[in-house]
A and B are shown apart, each in its own frame.
Chain A
Amino acid sequence: MHSDAGARPAAVTVAAAGAALLLLALPLIIRDIYWLDLGITVLVWASVATAWNISAGFAGGLSLGHSAFFGVGAYTASLLFLRLGLTPWLGMLAGSLLAGLLGALLGLITFRLRGPFFVLATLAFGIMVHIIAVNWRGLTRGAAGLLLPFDGGASNMLFAEFSTYWYVGLGLLGLTVGVSLAIERSRLGYYLVALREDEDAARSLGVRVVRSKVIAAALSAALTALAGSFYACFVQYIDPASTTQFELSVQIALIAIVGGMGTTFGPAIGALILIPLGEILRARLGGGPSLVLYGLLLMVIVLAAPNGAIAGLRSIGRRLGWRRRRPHA
């Protein structure tokens, strides 16, 4: 946690500032639509993975059903826009509220479950939402999907310029990371980590299990849904395969794990690594073989380096001699 204030070396602050500037200026530097598109995709999945981390990394609840919330966000905003003409800026909020409620419900159902039982429950939940998305054709048009007509411009979150999407996406990521940081340094953050480390000890100290887990689950779901709504407005066509499928839940988890579960910035780094990598592999090797590597990567990472890239970066930092300014033990 962050009880040792002021321990960050100056180098990190400078690097962070530099990175922020780079992110803001990116669309001015990179003009190629292909790379901007990729970048925006990275932003979307970085947000989702960061949101996932709130429930999984902090609280320890490994959810394999988060694609459900992504889908809820995507479909709610899209349907409200298509059927009622409601601007996605508001539809997004509706979607995240709905997802938040669903997340809280899921949290209530699963708080007592540990280990694989929790995973399976979330998996079941995710698949249930997918089944509904595919089969409730009256609502979602099933596998045919929903097409968002390019209608109405900025007020409907439909931009001609890719760079605008980039900034909105950046805002989304910023919001998600901000919430994650806020939690990390708050009472809730302490409670969640305590629950993750030792639930019985935490309970005996007065940590309220249900309340903490449900809040974390709701926040995680709501933020994921925001990303889903944004995604819908970005790609302008959604279907169950691209929003609620199980594979997406796995991808979200993989991104967070590769980057570093339990840390705020880990998932974003994971997205930065994996999304472009996935693109390149798919382009070079085709669907099948690239997924073979994907599966292999998943196995290798969790067996050899379950703490992800952030842990690797930290140990490099240590070796480079960064000494944290704190009393010696």
Chain B
Amino acid sequence: MQLALQILANGLLLGGLYALLAVGLTLIFGVLRVVNFAHAEFMMLGMFGAYWLWELFGFDPYFSIFIVVPAVSLLGAVVDRLVIQRTIGAPEVTVVFATLGLSILLQNAVLSAWTADIRSINTAYSSSVLVLGGVRLSVAMLISFGAALLFALGLWLFLTHTLYGKAIQAVAQNRAAASLMGINVRRVYLFTFSVAVASAAAMGVLIAPLFSIFPRVGQSYIVTIFIIVVLGGLGSVPGAVLAALLIGVVQAGAGFLIGAAWAELTYFVIFLAVLIARPQGLLGRRGAEVYGG
């Protein structure tokens, strides 16, 4: 029982991390209709940003987050202008491979610049653990979890209760109509993409004290995040959070029962099953699988 609770807790915390990445990706998916294969690379850049600021200046990640996130968002904005916006309405091939190429480029640029050496940040709280009812919870993970949920909540409130948020939703639903209504679609794209990139970078900074930092680190996350986004439903922020927590728990549980590698296989199976049976995911809109954009 104790063990089950521990696994559940681990799973939920992990899910929270995934949520932060997934929400950004689902936003890009939902609004720009772009599969951002490079999403996890922005997380990786966040991790490296936190690392170098810690290594060179001794900045604590919870401080450097205020430097790293804006910096990576700026990069995101540039990427949006130069790359992403050129893929809107382009043939399928372009949409998929532009971000895939970006992902390869970013991974290997970092690899070339800073080598494949695995780095880590060890702060005072890196290994602090909170014990709650016999369950051990990593403090850093808890903070990240909290940040992720706060961000998701904030984003959701923004999308549903502010005028600009509704404009973003309008673009997600029907970009032609939205633009006819006077919404500056390109600016919405820029904003959305930058916010999504910012959230990825933020996640990177938050988990830097916990996990190993290396150029390919994004690869271990990106497919899981795609699975989460599809499971939760394209463009659905609550869906992404729900699916993220679910997958986190499944991963922790399956990992414990059948080992990490085979666990990975289980949620690929889940993924394919969802795509066949209910392509719009848990909370997505029907017809999302035949998205028109």
Contacts and interface: CB of A to CB of B under 8 A. Distances in A.
B268 A299 contact: no
B290 interface: yes
Interface string B51-88: 00000000000000000000000000000000100110
A119 B108 contact: no
A306 B104 contact: no
B230 A299 contact: no
Interface in B168-198: none
Contact of B272 (A125, A134, A296, A302): A125
A71 to B, nearest CB: 15
A288 B272 contact: no
Interface in A261-278: 261
B227 interface: yes
Contacts of B106: 295
Contact of B95 (A116, A125, A254, A295): A116
Contacts of A132: 265
A113 B112 contact: no
Contacts of B111: 287-288, 291
A305 to B, nearest CB: 10
Nearest to B29: A116
A127 B261 CA distance: 11
B101 A109 contact: no
Interface string B94-130: 1111101111111111011000000000000000000
Interface in A283-307: 286-289, 291-292, 294-299, 301-303, 306
Given A124-B223, A257-B97, A302-B97, A289 B105 contact: no
Give the dominant DSSP class at B's interface: helix
B101 A299 contact: yes
A299 B279 contact: no
A128 interface: yes
A123 B268 CA distance: 10
Contacts of B290: 114
Contact of B97 (A112, A114, A121, A253): A253
A135 B262 contact: yes
Given A135-B262, A291-B104, A295-B102, A302 B268 contact: no
A110 B119 CA distance: 40
Interface in A148-178: none
B108 A295 contact: yes
B25 to A, nearest CB: 11
A117 B102 contact: no
A120 B104 contact: no
Given A60-B92, A119-B96, A292-B108, A135 B261 contact: yes
B164 interface: no
Nearest to A289: B112
A84 to B, nearest CB: 27
Lowest 8 A-B CB distances belong to which pairs? A295-B105, A298-B101, A295-B104, A288-B112, A299-B101, A291-B108, A116-B35, A288-B111
Given A291-B104, A292-B112, 8 more contacts: A113-B279, A117-B289, A124-B272, A134-B261, A294-B108, A295-B103, A298-B104, A299-B97
Interface of A: 60, 62, 64, 109-110, 112-117, 119-121, 123-125, 127-128, 131-132, 134-135, 250, 253-254, 257, 261, 286-289, 291-292, 294-299, 301-303, 306
20 contacts: A115-B291, A116-B29, A116-B95, A119-B96, A120-B226, A124-B223, A125-B272, A131-B262, A253-B97, A288-B109, A292-B104, A292-B105, A294-B108, A295-B101, A295-B107, A295-B108, A299-B98, A302-B97, A306-B90, A306-B94
